[in-house]
Amino acid sequence: MSPAAHPQLMLRLPVWRSRLLLALLLAWFVALATRALYLQGLHNDFLQQKGESRYSRVIEISATRGRIVDRNNEPLAISTPVESVAASPADVEITPEQLARLARLLEADAQELERKLADSKREFAYLKRQLPPEEAARVVALGIPGVFLQREYRRYYPAGEVTAHLIGFTDVDDKGQEALELAFEHRLAGKPGSRRVIRDRLGQIVEDIESIRTPQNGSTLMLSIDARLQYLAYRELKAAVAAHRARAGGIVVLDVASGEVLAMANVPSFNPNNRGKLDPRRTRNRAVTDLFEPGSTLKPFTAAAALEAGTVIPESVIQTAPGQFAIGDRVIHDAHPQSALTVAQVIQKSSNIGAAKMALGLKAETLWNLFHRVGFGVPPRSGFPGEVSGKLRAHASWRPIEQATLSYGHGISVSLLQLARAYLIFATDGEIKPVTLVKREAPAESVPVISPATARQVRKMLEMAAQPGGTALRAQITGYRVAGKTGTAHKLEGGGYAPDKYVAAFVGFAPASRPRLIVAVMIDEPSAGQHYGGTVAAPVFAQVAAGALRLLAVPYDAPVDNVVLPPPDAPEIKEEV
């Protein structure tokens, strides 16, 4: 039966509908063709990006951090390559069994790992930083797609605790956190680079496409430190702190000619190679960041101010009897009462009364000016982060008793580095220069502070202090003339001075005929029965200075039998302020 025989079976559609459908189909094909032309011919970045995202990656190339070396090019801080485990979450394919094994190898929480790997929006994630090579190899052996190794660098310190306070340390990203690592971050860090690579499904690099940015390694930092002297200073300081059961100690060794710091050590110390648990109390560089009252080590500056002002000469006689000196309602004492002493003997025997009378014979401004010009009350500008300026009150506010106690180092606070630098005026012809922890390429400019005549006069007094009759007999060195001054100061505690807590100090230089080294030693709270600077700190000076002078091949300036120690039963010349 044909549709023509039955009209009801025939479907008659309007012509416009077929034409509309044809127009829509043609428009759709034109749109597709236009889009294809646009994407593939005019704007193909999108498709390339999507395609490359399946295999192409831009990875960062770490820059090697610059080395820190001593003045003889011995390494003090170096960066060694290590492997870190990373992942590209979008490419990771991992089974529960593999996840459990990976968590055990990395000593990590399985749920935390799963959370990191499930974040497919991230192209990169660290799973564990800085693994030993054998552990990294075991992770790779798991063959987990999307998990790979990333080359990094870890800081290593060959000298360990010996240079810890000086060098500091870096964090897990190899960025300086303390001390010189922090101070010279801009010079040591370098700039990382990047490159484009092709990775397979296992996350392994199969082709290096191009270098985008070349890494710039950090520069080498050469310090003024001599590693041999640094070890010697640390060893002797550590032994002294242990022997006297002290709370802490510090030592600074300066080169007289250049103002360079040849050694700087503190006890207690820490191991910068093990940064898991660091006690902040052990990490600070006490020689630069801690303050203490210098005690009698300041008396030579009082004598120098009086000599410069012309109020005394070395032979001037000062009456110190009967061992007490009243100023208003306060009384100054001498630990070893004397009678009449010359200015030279005041320094030799460390008389508080003699120093106080010299200071009171001066204008307050005169004494303050000398203290200020040698660097007390201002930062030493060594370049070390956190260095302190100390405390030196304005002279206009001084009362007579304060001026008197300042003469022997009470009522003023300094750092050990400041104190060592100040003694440059006695080791030279009255000049001072800036100190540095970085090796100098050219001599530093010196600034005159006192006259050469005054410097030589005080130097002779300091040499007398290390001879029979002085407070520093134990500072003597075989074959060398020594000059220096002891200090024994009560510690401040609770707004007053603790009767049984002391800071023992000694600052000296050798050879006295032509000074080459200044060594400053501070022992905090010795508690083994002895607390005087002459018995606690001076022997450290002797051991360090003797070893250093021989290492530097400094010629003798005295007979080899020059050391004259008192007999064991001889009374000790006491010193206490």
Phi-psi bin for 495: left (phi > 0), alpha (psi -120 to 50), beta?
Answer: left
Backbone angles phi, psi at 480, to 5 degrees: -135, 140
Helix or strand run (H / E) with residue 239 = helix 227-243
Name the residue with tokens 């050879």: 511
Instruction: Tally Cβ neighbours within 10 Å of residue 558.
Output: 18
201-228 in b/e form (b: 16+ CB < 10 A) is eebeeeeeeeeeeebebbeebbbbbbbb
CB 282 within 8 A of CB 471: no
Name the residue with tokens 């000196």: 325
The token pair that represents 117 in the structure block: 């790997």
- Pairs from 77-80 (Cβ < 8 Å, separation ≥ 24): 77/155, 77/156, 77/157, 77/167, 77/181, 78/155, 78/156, 78/158, 79/153, 79/154, 79/155, 79/156, 79/174, 80/153, 80/154, 80/156
Name the residue with tokens 């660098």: 153
DSSP calls for 163-219: SHHHH--B-TTS-B-SHHHHHTHHHHS-B-EEEEEEE-TTS-EEEEEEEEE--BPPP
Residues 13/19/25/27 CA torsion (nearest 10 deg): -150
Name the residue with tokens 């005019």: 42
Name the residue with tokens 């005054």: 454
Name the residue with tokens 């905090």: 524
The token pair that represents 241 in the structure block: 């702190």
User: What sign has the CA pseudo-torsion 543, 545, 548, 552?
Assistant: negative
Biggest CA-to-CA distance, the chain: 154
The Cα-based distances of 49 to 55, 280, 460 in angstroms read 10, 49, 81
CA distance linking residue 347 with residue 342, whole number of Å? 9
Give all strands of the β-sheet with 496-510 in edge-to-edge order: 261-267, 248-255, 517-524, 496-510, 483-493
Residues 385/390/396/398 CA torsion (nearest 10 deg): 170
Instruction: Tally Cβ neighbours within 10 Å of residue 243.
Output: 15
CB 527 within 8 A of CB 246: yes
Question: Which residues are identified as catalytic?
Answer: 296
Q: Residue 352 corresponds to which amino acid?
A: N
The token pair that represents 59 in the structure block: 């990875």
